[in-house]
Structure 1
């Protein structure tokens, strides 16, 4: 790879990372190309050398953000079975620290809102949520005990919906109540499903 090709690849990655950061913070539907490029430390004029449209960038940013999140989920101990794996994921997810950490918060809530509101990267979001569901089912060890599909999908839905409500009510006592209640409810639901299996 030539130096010019390497620089172009690095610039493209900076653009994607800037878009991922904005996705986590507030979604991409109302973000301008100039905001993305400013976040990457690049000029607006260079955007179209990397992407044919903002929509294509949104797709790549959603794919990258969801992959990052999936790898983060899979990077947890897996030997204690699927119930504890899902309960651990929810416990860490429903915290004020995670809710308020703009740079590291989960991209799923904002990506879901974008996909539902204007179809932004909806196909990629659906594909990546399917992959996330598989990760929730199998964990890091595909030979280990699998979570029931209901537990995987239910946990994901609870996490995304619960965090949307916690974000929407942030700054009020209700936000903290959502975090605590949804975490407890999710843990109990997973335990109940384990007893039914």
Structure 2
């Protein structure tokens, strides 16, 4: 039976979403095309009907993962965003967490198109953060962007460094606690009484 255009598009989206999760979990070099297609429920040979190369899929998967994070946090203020981002739950859920933290190091060795997708993702998260009145009233739009960028870099770095430690390492937890407190403190905020810092990012 011939596959309709709508079904072909749905199949492509399924492959991209599967790749986004697997790449975040295992890294770009840790996932082969055959394993990826099998996880998505397709044969290896079908890959090139959708993508010219693995690099093209990597680019689209990065954009997909970052869009998921943006969608999950679009309605949060800056304090809420960082409360969830710099958390043990986010640290431990690499496959559904932020693509920037999971694959930022890998992206530096990838084609320019992949790195461009990461650049666009960073800009998208900054756009969300600078909407917060706490940041926007801190001065000019340029100053709000500088503050947001500094906090985002600290948050991503906290997740990366915490993950670099053993799971049960006291340092892994200390990194998260110190960085979360520093970011929230700079926003004049404290963890909400009804929201545990390990709420984390949710799967989409």
TM range (shorter): 0.7 to 0.9
Match of 1:190 in 2: 187
Residue 145 of structure 1 deviates from its aligned partner by 6.6
Match of 2:121 in 1: 128
TM-score, normalising length from structure 2? Answer: 0.79
Query: Equivalent residue of 1:117, what SS?
Result: coil
Q: Conserved in 1, the CA contact under 8 Å of 2:161 and 2:172?
A: yes
- Identify which of 98, 103, 106 aligns with 1:106: 98
Is 1:166 the counterpart of 2:162 in the alignment?
Answer: yes
Residue 25 of structure 1 deviates from its aligned partner by 1.3
- Identify which of 97, 108, 123 aligns with 1:116: 108
Residue deviations 1:132-188 (CA, integer Å, cap 9, x gap) = 21111125xxxx675311221012101111100111114211111111111011112
Q: Conserved in 1, the CA contact under 8 Å of 2:82 and 2:183?
A: yes
- Identify which of 86, 104, 109 aligns with 1:94: 86
Residue 46 of structure 1 deviates from its aligned partner by 0.1
Q: Conserved in 1, the CA contact under 8 Å of 2:135 and 2:147?
A: no
Q: Conserved in 2, the CA contact under 8 Å of 1:20 and 1:62?
A: yes
Match of 2:201 in 1: none
Separation in 2, partners of 1:49, 1:119: 21
Q: After the TM superposition, which of the residue ranges 3-12 and 64-73 deviates more from structure 2?
A: 3-12
Counterpart mapping for 1:144-163 below 5 A: 147=136, 148-163=144-159
Residue 127 of structure 1 deviates from its aligned partner by 1.7
Q: Conserved in 1, the CA contact under 8 Å of 2:23 and 2:30?
A: no
Query: Equivalent residue of 1:177, what SS?
Result: helix
Residue 118 of structure 1 deviates from its aligned partner by 3.6
Residue 93 of structure 1 deviates from its aligned partner by 1.5
TM-score, normalising length from structure 1? Answer: 0.82
Q: Which 4+ stretches in 1 moved above 3 angstroms?
A: 117-120, 144-147
> Which one has more relative contact order, counting CA pairs under 8 Å at least 6 apart?
2
Q: Conserved in 2, the CA contact under 8 Å of 1:86 and 1:155?
A: no
Q: Conserved in 2, the CA contact under 8 Å of 1:19 and 1:28?
A: no
Match of 1:80 in 2: none
Return closer, same or farther for 1:25/1:101 CA change in 2, 3 Å cut-off.
Answer: same
Match of 2:60 in 1: 60
Residue 3 of structure 1 deviates from its aligned partner by 5.6
Q: Conserved in 2, the CA contact under 8 Å of 1:90 and 1:187?
A: yes
Q: After the TM superposition, which of the residue ranges 103-112 and 43-52 deviates more from structure 2?
A: 103-112
Separation in 2, partners of 1:182, 1:113: 20
